[in-house]
Amino acid sequence: MRQLRVRLPLGLAIAGALAPAACGDRQADDAPAQTEPVEDTRTVPSEAAAAQLDDGTAPVEAPLSGDAATTMLTQLAGLGGAMHAAVELCDPNIPADQLAQAKDRQQQEFVKMGGDAAMFDREFASAHDKVRAQYDTATPAQQQQMCAELESMASSAPAPATE
């Protein structure tokens, strides 16, 4: 089987890309995916907005709240756990400490978005266990397909932002 090269935190990168669709914010359509590069169309803030941005204070990132936010956060934690399990199963060469660091970063981001650390752990573990059970009961061909899909997602996922 081909060796996977997965950039961590894969679960968080994919979770960020899939979150709007998972929450129902976007509807699937029959239009083909855009394959042409998109030009950079940055907007320039108005003078009033620029003055507010230049006041020397950092922007405040408000945590998410409400039922929709709770649902989205639950899905993100679950997606992180599912991806974590998939990476463990499909690329056993990734060190456990590297996976643990990725999980810790995901949990920190989850809490920054307004989630509870205990909820993250619960949803992460639940999804992780489900993926492991699916993998363990799958045929070798199905396991190969699961890993091929993971590799495909990893190669098309945007690179994690660096600080």
Interior/surface letters 108-139, b for 16+ CB within 10 angstroms, e for the rest: ebbeebbbeeeebeebbeebbeebbebbeeee
- The reply to whether 48 falls in a domain is no
pLDDT tens, the chain, 163 aa long = 444 444 434 444 444 444 443 444 444 444 555 556 656 556 666 666 665 555 555 554 555 567 888 888 999 999 999 989 999 999 888 999 999 999 999 999 999 988 889 999 999 999 999 999 999 999 999 999 989 988 888 777 676 665 5
Total number of domains in the chain = 1
Q: Encode 14-47: b = buried (16+ Cβ within 10 Å), e = exposed.
A: bbbeebeebeeeeeeeeeeeeeeeeeeeeeeeee
Task: Specify if 37 maps to a domain.
Answer: no
Q: Is 19 domain-assigned?
A: no
Q: Is residue 27 part of a domain?
A: no
**pLDDT for the residue numbered 14:** 43
What range does the domain containing 98 cover? 66-163
- Does residue 3 lie within any of the structural domains? no
Residue 138 covered by a domain: yes
Q: How far apart are CA 156 and CA 70, in angstroms?
A: 28
pTM of the model: 0.57
